[in-house]
Each structure stands twice: as C-alpha cells, then as structure tokens.
Amino acid sequence: MKVVVLTGAGISAESGVATFRDAGGLWEGHRVEDVATPEGFEADPDVVHHFYDARRRGLEAVEPNAAHLALAALEGHLGDDLLVVTQNVDDLHERAGSTRVLHMHGELRSAWCTTCDERLRWDEALSHRPPCPRCGTPTLRPDVVWFGELPYGMERIEDALSEADQFVSIGTSGEVYPAAGFMQVAAAYGAHTLELNLVPSSGTQWLTEARHGPAGLLVPAWVAGLLP
Ligand code: BV8
C-alpha cells in the first residue's frame, strides 16, 4: 500500500512550535510579505534574518511529539511505500526517526548561498552575515521557500501522488498552494483521502474521510489502525 502524508504546522503544535494562522501564530507578529517573500528580504534582510534566526534557535527547546513518532514507526513498516511531504521547516520528523521526508518549503537548519548556489547544513544565526564556507561571500540566506518561489521536489511529489493508494493531510489549514491542491490531485488519481486536523481545513470537498482532534492522538490511532 503506497501512502503519501502531507504535514503542516499543526503536527508540530503540541511540541510547542507556533503555527501560522492560529491565535498567537507566526504571522500574527509579522506581515507575511515582510518576512517570507524575496521582496521583503531585499527590502530589509535584518528583519528576515532575525525572524528565521529566532525560529532556528527555537528548535533547541522543542522535541518531536507522539504524531511525529507514529509516522516514524509507520515508515518502519511501509519503508519506500511511505513518503512524508512536509510544509514545515522544523526538523522534528527527522528527530523522530523519519528518513523519507521531503521538505517542500525548505528547512531552518539549512543555509543557501545566493552567490555560489551552495546549500549547507546550518545551525547558527545568519543575521551577522557569516561568509559562505565555500565561496567566502557573505550572501547566505535561509534555505526556505518564500511566497512566489517554486517549492522543492514538485516532480517527486507529483509522481508519489499519482501512485498513492492513501493520501493523508495532517495539521494543515489548506490555505497555501500548491500544497493545498495535493488532496484534489490524489483524489483524482483514485486515492483514499483522509484529513487528521484539529478543525476542518478548506479542502474538505476532496476528502473521503475526516477525523478532527489533536494530531498527538489522531495520528498514533490512525497508524495503529493501519498496522497488522
Ligand atoms: C508558488 C516557508 C509558483 C517559510 C511557506 C493558487 C491560488 C492562490 C494563491 C496561489 C496559488 N498558487 C500560488 C499561490 C501563491 C502562494 C499562496 O498559496 N498564497 C496563499 C496565501 C493564498 N503560494 C506560493 O507563493 C508558493 N509558490 O506558488 O510558486 C509555482 C508553484 C508550483 C508550480 C509552479 C509555480 C510558495 C508557498 C510557500 C511559502 N512558504 N513556508 C516559513 O515557514 O517561514 S508557507 C507556510 O505557511 C508553511 O510552510 C505552510 O505552507 C503555510 C502554513 O500553513 P499550515 O502549515 O497549514 O499552518 P496553519 O497555521 O495555516 O494551519 C495549521 C492547521 O493545523 C490549522 O488548520 C489548525 O487548526 C491545525 N492544528 C493546530 N493545532 C493542531 C492542529 N491540527 C492537529 N493537531 C493540533 N494539535
């Protein structure tokens, strides 16, 4: 059975990572266009670097929760038949033990040099403009996908959606494209589509089934129901 799981900020909420649109969410403190667009970075790189430096530092204070751990256990059973596509830039899936994870919106723990195009593991701040270890130019930016930029791995995602028997979206509001369109694509290919979310998302018309509640309860129960 081939399974594609799409995760959003809601799967990391119980770990203490702020979501975007919920009360006290990330976007509450900042205008999206100021901190998550190439234009915003061009206009004021300091504001953007501090926004991402704070989130990168915040990773030290959080741990994977039962939902992340359940998906890692599922990978143990399904192996290559499971792909976790995440909109999240945190590293909680990997810290839970998942290896088949595709960060379609990038990662906080990666920096991208806009001079030599090198992408490299990065755990420190960027606001002091450290030189790129490869070309020495101080042009490192957060390796995240901003609005108006092309998400990563779109071909691999489209291939996986076309072969999926099951598509499951976990902890996402379904507001941001192209991720918000994946459920419809999977449904069009005949997949069973399931939503595990605190509240109904905006893509419900393409759903076969929906279960609402905290991911930390819903995901382990769903995985337990799948395994022999
Ligand atoms: C692009 C990285 C061209 C940075 C992010 C079509 C129609 C309309 C607009 C567009 C369109 N196509 C493109 C656009 C424009 C735009 C877009 O979608 N705009 C929206 C706002 C209308 N999209 C883009 O610009 C994308 N690029 O289109 O390029 C292209 C594309 C394809 C092919 C060719 C060309 C790039 C978008 C990526 C932007 N970068 N993140 C960073 O993280 O700082 S987006 C960011 O916001 C996240 O990654 C995520 O994607 C999104 C937040 O959504 P969620 O993760 O769902 O979080 P949210 O808070 O909204 O919801 C949380 C949910 O969890 C809630 O439902 C809540 O109830 C639930 N929940 C809470 N607690 C729990 C829980 N559930 C369970 N348990 C709990 N405990």
Grouped pLDDT means (10 residues each) for the chain, 228 residues: 97 92 66 90 96 96 98 98 98 98 98 98 98 98 97 98 98 95 97 97 89 98 93
C-alpha distances in angstroms, 9 versus 21, 56, 105, 124, 173? Answer: 9, 15, 12, 23, 9
Q: Record the pTM.
A: 0.96
Q: Which residues are catalytic?
A: 105
**Cα 179 to ligand 1 centre (Å):** 7
Q: What is the amino acid identity at position 108? A: L
Confidence (pLDDT) at 189: 98
Tell how far the Cα of 174 is from the centroid of ligand 1, in angstroms: 7
Q: Is 9 in the pocket of ligand 1 (CB under 6 A)?
A: yes
Find tokens 């395994």 and name the residue: 227
Quick one: tokens of 140? Answer: 């490192």
Distance 133 CA to ligand 1 centre (A): 31
pLDDT at 25: 67
Q: CB-hemisphere CA count at 13 Å for 226?
A: 22
Predicted pLDDT at 185: 97
Strands of the sheet containing 3-7, edge to edge, are 101-103, 82-86, 3-7, 166-170, 192-197, 209-212
As a whole number of angstroms, the distance between CA 129 and CA 139 comes to 7
Distance CA 52, CA 210 (A): 33
Tell the residue nearest (CA) to atom 14 of ligand 1.
177
